[in-house]
Amino acid sequence: MTEPSADSAKIIYTYTDEAPALATHSLLPILAAFAKAAGVQVETRDISLAGRILATFDLEPDALAELGDLVKRPEANIIKLPNVSASMPQLEAAIAELQALGYAVPDYADAKAAYDKVKGSAVNPVLREGNSDRRAPKAVKDYVRSHPHSMGAWSADSKTHVATMGHDDFATNEKSITMEADDTLTIRHVGADGTTTVLKDVVPVLAGEIVDGTFMSKAALVQFYAEQMADAKAQGVLFSLHLKATMMKVSDPILFGHGVEVFFADVFAKHGDAIAAAGGNPNNGWADVLAAIATLPDAQRAEVEADIAAAWENGPAVAMVDSDRGISNLHVPSDIIVDASMPAMIRSSGHMWNAAGEEQDCKAVIPDSSYAGIYQAVIDDCKAHGAYDPTTLGSVPNVGLMAQAAEEYGSHDRTFEIDAAGTVEVVSSSGTVLLSHAVEAGDVWRMCLVKDIPVQDWVKLAVSRARATGAPAVFWLDPARAHDVQVTKKVEQYLPDHDTDGLDIRILSPVEATKLSLERIRQGLDTISVTGNVLRDYNTDLFPIIELGTSAKMLSIVPLIAGGGLFETGAGGSAPKHVQQFVKEDYLRWDSLGEFLALAVSFEHLAQRTGNQVAQVLADTLDAATGKLLETGKSPARRLGQIDNRGSHAYLASYWAEAIAQQTSDPKLAERFGPIAAAFAEQQAQIDEELIAAQGSPVDLGGYYKVDTAKADAAMRPSATLNAIVDSIHSI
């Protein structure tokens, strides 16, 4: 067969944060060595939080901007690992660390506008120039059916439930239109006295683009919180607040802060000015407030602490993130993210942890009612039918609308906390008021945009997945919600452009779609959920955690509109607790299965685009190696003395080399990898011994958000035997 040319292909492997970043130091040398056999060059780009901060101040190349350009070109082939969507506490910690390391970055207060571009979900909107195809790979699904994860039992008399507003919130206040022509819009606030303030003066929109405006009433939200806290105490259930303060980086920290203030209402009524003067901000969580209180004079601090103790005593019990350390769900906004926290609670019998470290029924408070109903539907199903059985479950893959920042809201410069009563208006360039809302001081107003081309591509992807699988494809669109009405019109317009003969394609409200999907999943049947951006996040955690025990094992493909490919490594987050364990005892339990899956489809995409058949062999054999890794139980365990992330990589390399040596599609490649496979087989015991011996002692990484590369390399590649075999692949 024809050898691939040296410049035939390139894969960009992103360097991100926390556990996946540490794993990269071990896996990337293996990947680069194997890829070289196909003439494929693997390059990294640093899009970590620290890297983005340094790029903002021209201290490092702007890798995110570079990749933002690349995803608009057909040659794009990018492996995207999970990254930190920085909340304020995380951002401030990263700034402080970089300053301590000697980098000349300013304090947040001195460069707020620049830092706000880094905060929250700053990466994904830039890279996602295509819609999302997320599904459970067959090998993973088969493995889980024969090796099921634990599922907590459910009781019909469980008190666990979802509480949501259902009025005066983002869902119910929403107004939406579809633009008839290209235009440039202005968002303005007209005060009660007629004073006009421009909130955003240049919002370019295209013909066919959906434009939404809505707001959350502060008064209604505060009243809602107070009622739910009282009800949680009356029912004897945990109060648990579930928001998305990372991705919704402007709106949801404000909503979170109001929850903190209502819980500690007497504390803020008596001491709010002193707390604010000391720098405490409830939007950053109760931990930030406590840090400010600790700086007060002794007598004043004692008075505040007495009132805090009374608030804990008089309020409802609160769900805990870490019972042993007294860390509640109210401490840090980024600790409880609704799309991950709700499925974990559902999997655990509807329980969360109380202050005593015991499981307890809870009131899951999700203020906005846009999608809260889907979780209540799951809870109702569990109460009626019991826990799910992973050995028999079907699957709910997802086709998600997200291209070109579709449905990105609450996270950008079109979201505002209103200063004074009046009206927020969206105005065309001709002066016509397109949308308007009467607002009060403290309300949070936001705009959402969805371009037409991404919707067309989304419909096309949904039809293609239904055709490929034979499963029903259900568009989760609510006829009672203004935005969804506009999207539904487009779906009905574009579906006839495709061959849907014999396909089961439906449009249902999110709650009805949830009920249908649950009914079918219990029957062992698959149902494709076709959703908008936020529901894509929710569903690609909810159903995988039920089906697989984790969302990190999903295959996540983004077919880019320009023809390239973005391959994401699952929705499992960046696992800060894994890093804490690694630093403490040199044991990393991060599972790189998502990376293995993404790499295989990346090689496959490359082969299809360039005709590089060696890349296809690498894809097929990597899939085979991943399957064997699962079947032989070589994924990372949880505790010291067992196989961890590094050991898992070692076995993957061994099984991959073995699969290449045994395949017959490319005899020459098989011959080249024969000695490598033999070396792994002969020296596996020595590799195991060296990797286990490395465990048990604290690790100095030289930093958290920006690790020292040499130290991380040494920590993540402690087996000289493994390193020698991997390095030898370059010379075959």
Question: pLDDT tens digits, residue range 586-611?
Answer: 999 999 999 999 999 999 999 999 99
Of 599 and 139, the structure prediction assigns the larger pLDDT to: 599
Name the DSSP class of 223. Answer: H
Q: How confident is the model at residue 8 (pLDDT cuts 50, 70, 90)?
A: very low
pLDDT at position 139: 84
Q: Which two tokens stand for residue 348?
A: 């655990």
**Side chain identity, residue 444:** V
Beta bridge partners of 203: 185
Average pLDDT over residues 557-574: 86
* Pair type for strands 238-241 and 359-365: parallel
Average pLDDT over residues 25-29: 98
How do the domains of the chain map onto residue ranges?
161-170+218-385, 175-216+415-446
Cβ atoms 36, 730 nearer than 8 A: yes
For 412, counting Cβ atoms within 10 Å of its Cβ (0-12 exposed, 13-18 middle, 19+ buried), the class is buried
Task: Check pLDDT > 80 for residue 410.
Answer: no
For 57, counting Cβ atoms within 10 Å of its Cβ (0-12 exposed, 13-18 middle, 19+ buried), the class is middle
pLDDT at position 1: 34
Q: Is 208 helix (H, G, I), strand (E, B) or coil?
A: coil
Cβ atoms 543, 395 nearer than 8 A: yes
* Nearest alpha-carbon partner for 341 in 432, 463, 467, 245: 245
* Nearest alpha-carbon partner for 136 in 605, 516, 652, 594: 594
Query: What is the distance between the alpha carbons of residues 481 and 167, in angstroms, rounded to a whole number?
Result: 12
Query: What is the distance between the alpha carbons of residues 386 and 522, in angstroms, rounded to a whole number?
Result: 11
Average pLDDT over residues 642-650: 97
Give the count of beta carbons closer than 10 Å to the beta carbon of residue 467. 16
- Residue % of the chain over a pLDDT of 90: 89
Cβ atoms 419, 444 nearer than 8 A: no
**Side chain identity, residue 722:** L
∠ CA 401-405-409, rounded to 5°? 95
pLDDT at position 130: 94
Task: Check pLDDT > 60 for residue 317.
Answer: yes
Q: Which two tokens stand for residue 452?
A: 């037409």
Task: Check pLDDT > 90 for residue 432.
Answer: yes
pLDDT, tens digit (0-9, with 9 covering 90-100), for 218-235: 999 999 999 999 999 999
Q: Is 324 helix (H, G, I), strand (E, B) or coil?
A: coil
Give the count of beta carbons closer than 10 Å to the beta carbon of residue 473. 25
pTM: 0.86
DSSP string of 442-460, one letter each residue: T-EEEEEEE-HHHHHHHHH
Average pLDDT over residues 508-535: 97
Task: Check pLDDT > 60 for residue 4.
Answer: no
* Nearest alpha-carbon partner for 522 in 657, 387, 420, 332: 387
Task: Check pLDDT > 60 for residue 5.
Answer: no
Cβ atoms 341, 242 nearer than 8 A: yes
Cβ atoms 339, 294 nearer than 8 A: no
Query: What is the distance between the alpha carbons of residues 461 and 710, in angstroms, rounded to a whole number?
Result: 43
pLDDT at position 570: 65
Cα distances from 621 to residues 6, 59, 329, 708, in angstroms, run 21, 40, 44, 34
φ, ψ for residue 234, nearest 5 deg: -65, -35
**What dihedral do alpha carbons 583, 19, 713, 639 form, nearest 10°?**
50
Query: What is the distance between the alpha carbons of residues 104 and 263, in angstroms, rounded to a whole number?
Result: 39
Question: Given phi > 0 = left and psi -120 to 50 = alpha, else beta, which region is 279?
Answer: left
∠ CA 464-340-345, rounded to 5°? 120
pLDDT, tens digit (0-9, with 9 covering 90-100), for 237-279: 999 999 998 778 889 999 999 999 999 999 999 999 999 999 9
Q: Which two tokens stand for residue 414?
A: 């079109």
* Pair type for strands 40-46 and 9-15: parallel
Cβ atoms 124, 84 nearer than 8 A: no
Name the DSSP class of 515. Answer: H
Average pLDDT over residues 368-381: 97
Query: What is the distance between the alpha carbons of residues 112 and 117, in angstroms, rounded to a whole number?
Result: 9
Q: Which two tokens stand for residue 510?
A: 């999110």
Query: What is the distance between the alpha carbons of residues 239 and 234, in angstroms, rounded to a whole number?
Result: 11
Strand order in the sheet with 444-450: 175-178, 210-216, 444-450, 415-417
Task: Check pLDDT > 50 for residue 614.
Answer: yes
* Nearest alpha-carbon partner for 271 in 300, 299, 294, 297: 300
Task: Check pLDDT > 50 for residue 446.
Answer: yes
Task: Check pLDDT > 80 for residue 50.
Answer: yes
pLDDT, tens digit (0-9, with 9 covering 90-100), for 80-125: 999 988 888 899 999 999 999 999 999 999 999 999 889 877 888 8
